[in-house]
Amino acid sequence: MDSMVLQQNKTTTLSGSAQKSSSGKTISVTLREGKHKYASSSTIDKAGKFSIKLPRIKGSLAQYTMEFAIATTVMKTRYMMYAWANFL
């Protein structure tokens, strides 16, 4: 099982890599939970790297779904994802 906890009310940066053949294509990420939807996108560089900044997300105890798409190909991954406050 994949899981992730994101900081509520803070921007989040997701970085990663894709196949070099995807360079120049748009990669997008969408988070959904009930009526809440957050989306952002970026362009994959020549080395296949990308970095996407997600907007501030609302805190929730409900599970979010994260969806990645490169150009027109959707790779949907479900996470046990929650947005929490920082208690430190």
DSSP-assigned states of every residue in 23-85: TTSEEEEEEEETTEEEEEEEE--TTSEEEEEEPP---EEEEEEEEEEETTEEEEEEEEEEEE-
Phi and psi at 55, nearest 5°, equal -70, 175
pLDDT digits (tens, 9 = 90+) for 18-66: 999 999 999 999 988 888 899 999 999 999 999 999 998 888 788 888 8
Report the alpha-carbon distance of residue 40 to residue 24 in Å, rounded: 16
For the chain, list the domains and their CATH numbers.
Answer: 12-81 (2.60.40)
Nearest residue to 51 via CA among 67, 74, 28: 28
What pLDDT does residue 8 have? 86
pLDDT digits (tens, 9 = 90+) for 70-86: 987 887 676 656 666 65
Would the pLDDT of 10 be above 70?
A: yes
Amino acid at position 1, single letter = M
What pLDDT does residue 52 have? 96
